[in-house]
Chain A
Amino acid sequence: MVFLRILIGWHFLYEGVIKLFNPDWTAFGYLATAQGPFKSLFIGLTGESIIGWVDTLNWLALIFVGASLLLGIFEKKGALVGILLLAMYYFAHPPFPWLEQMNVEGSYWFVNKNLIELVACWVIYNFPTGEYFGLTYLFKGTSKTTNTQQL
């Protein structure tokens, strides 16, 4: 479980950092070409006044998820934000057979990598491991020691 948490954190953090340091990066193209049931919602996010906020929130959220899962702190919150992000990615370009698949490197039928990573985040949410490996260990560890002394 710790290993899974670190891999996912790794993935999120790297994506966030790359976007943060690339001044030309924008989610515009990804959102403008959105398909499926929430198409109009995603296209609405491309508005001139909103897109800057969308871009900033995206890299902030990516880095938050990455850092929380890697450091093992607030990991439940991190996993939740991760689920939210991945759900948005999934629904912006859903791998439904009646939609045209754009810029995908594999073949998908309802299930794609975004969905799998989303479920993995849900598992992490249910089985937090920061107490075994991560900053949470230090805090919990301290209180446990105190408890033992009392016994």
Chain B
Amino acid sequence: MKWTRRDVLKGLGGIPILGSIWWAGTANALVKSKDRSEILEQLNIQPSLPTALKTIGGAPIRFGIIGFGIRGEQLCRAIGFATEEWKEEMKVAEQETGNTQLQEFLDQEKLNIQLTAVCDAFDVRAEKVVSSFSTESNKVKRFKTHQEMIRSGEVDAVIIATPDHWHAPMAIDALENNVHAYVEKPMTHTVEETYQLKAAAEKSNALLMVGHQHRQTLSFKTARDIVDKGVLGHVSMIQTNTNRNDDNGAWNYDIDEKANEQTIDWDLFLGNAPKIPFNKNHFFRWRKWWAYGSGLSGDLLTHDYDRLNCVLNMGIPKSIMASGGIYTHNDGRNVPDVLQVNMEFPGFSTGSSQIKGKEKGMTFTYSATLGNGFNRPTILMGHDGTMELGNNLTVWPDGSSTKYAEMIEAEKMKPNIPIYHYNPGANMPDAVSSATSQYFADKGLMWTYIDGVRVNSTFLHLREWLSCIRNGGDLSCGINEGFDEAISAHMTGLSWKLGRKIEWDSAEQRIVPIEGIDFDEVLLASP
């Protein structure tokens, strides 16, 4: 057979086109991947792996729950105790929205623990625990007070999920009786209590864990590696935010229809708070008053402060200035719903790529409103790069970076294109039920991802505490971390209430006194 030039052209003409496209595609993909590995090699970031914990061997750890409100219920559920009502609710949610929480709950590792006791000022809640979690061999016992529960000999550990003004008295009592305590944030309600709890924790053989579950979030551990490796250079500014715009987010929780003077032990609830007549609003929405709660500074700033303290270990700020007001929910509350906080760390540095001594000091800004839900991310701003911190991490190089000058010059890095992205959930389709849950989820406060599987970080946090109770080991949020968090929150509250700068004396380990002012009196006062 003889082929003419025309035959060859018409028959084989596609081959050079195919070859060119193949070559272009390969070249493009390889150049991109080479640039990428060059960048990754320079950054040398090690994504964190979950820490292995020893299992809880021997007899089950017996624990009591003090306070079975919204958070108390979440904490119990996190370690395997979910009410039938919740399971039913989740089944419906699964059918309607594809919510996967029930399946995740069922798949979760079972811990060797026993819920033996409950204490709650509201009969309905206490009885719910007794009826939901009692079994034939283990009847959950209701105690009227935490003192009775702690001294009963029926609990090895207690979980404290009460209003803030009860946190320290209960935790101190537990530790003094060598009962392990897990206490929700903020760790204390006053400055004095913070020292008392520290002393009690240091003296006790029992373990105190503060409920900042995000310390288990893997992305934050990776973020710490990023900062330690100097990827961002000297971080001079951090901005963190709270943006919520719904009733739940503004602490206007539902008031149970069965609530009345017969079903609520009002004096027990009040404790050391000023004596006032029975008030359902105060009982269910206690976060709105300084007498029991601590508003944005104790409730939400503490999350953001501790998230960053976990990444940077920057400690208590040298000074704090706060301002704000009640601008979005003028409903009788006395804690601010809009708050702007500047924390100064003049001696702090994350390292520098420039000449020695040029860079030092950092401002941490917390800006919050309960009247707008726009997502403002947490940003760490360094001379060499910027990092967005949440369940995902993204790092961008700075256009004027010293460290990356050559790569930016060679256009191997571009300031608007991230050089590192960490997304352990990899497009996991999340079904999150409410705006407030979404707020916590985005911030990495609810879940972390292990091998692409969503894991409740509260479960990990409680499991760590329980494992350390039995096996020993270091707690990721013990008394020292709690002390930093509580003091920073109280300094913020004081600054907002007094309208002046509050300073920390690190040598003396105390808030710099202001003549004629009793800090705790100010903190507890109802403005």
A43 interfacial contact with B, CB 8 Å? yes
Q: How far is the CB of B396 from chain A (nearest CB, A)?
A: 19
A141 touches B21 (CB 8 A): no
A71 touches B14 (CB 8 A): yes
A21 touches B14 (CB 8 A): no
A65 interfacial contact with B, CB 8 Å? no
A28 contact from B11, B13, B21, B426, Cβ within 8 A: B426
Q: How far is the CB of A72 from chain B (nearest CB, A)?
A: 5
From residue 28 to 45 of chain A, which have CB atoms closer than 8 A to chain B? Answer: 28-29, 32-33, 43
Knowing A32-B429, A33-B427, A70-B18 are in contact, say whether A135-B25 is a contact too (CB < 8 A).
no
Q: How far is the CB of A139 from chain B (nearest CB, A)?
A: 9
Q: How far is the CB of A46 from chain B (nearest CB, A)?
A: 9
Residues on A with C-beta less than 8 A from B428 are 32
Q: Digit string of B391-431 for contact with A (CB within 8 Å is 1, else 0)?
A: 00000000000000000000000000000000000111100
From residue 1 to 50 of chain B, which have CB atoms closer than 8 A to chain A? Answer: 1, 3, 7, 10-15, 17-18, 21-22, 24-26, 28-30, 32-33
B7 touches A133 (CB 8 A): no
A135 touches B24 (CB 8 A): no
From residue 6 to 34 of chain A, which have CB atoms closer than 8 A to chain B? Answer: 6, 9-10, 13-14, 16-18, 20-23, 28-29, 32-33
B11 contact from A6, A9, A141, Cβ within 8 A: A141
A70 contact from B21, B28, B429, Cβ within 8 A: B21
Residues on B with C-beta less than 8 A from A16 are 25
B29 touches A71 (CB 8 A): no
Residues on A with C-beta less than 8 A from B11 are 134-135, 137-138, 141
A141 touches B7 (CB 8 A): yes
B427 touches A142 (CB 8 A): no
A135 touches B7 (CB 8 A): no
B25 touches A14 (CB 8 A): yes
B429 touches A43 (CB 8 A): yes
- What are 11 pairs between A and B in contact, CB < 8 Å? A6-B14, A13-B18, A13-B21, A13-B25, A14-B24, A14-B25, A16-B25, A17-B21, A70-B18, A138-B12, A141-B7
Which B residues fall within an 8 A CB radius of A? 1, 3, 7, 10-15, 17-18, 21-22, 24-26, 28-30, 32-33, 426-429
Q: A137-B7, A138-B11 are in contact. List 4 more A-B contacts (CB 8 A).
A: A21-B33, A29-B426, A133-B10, A145-B1
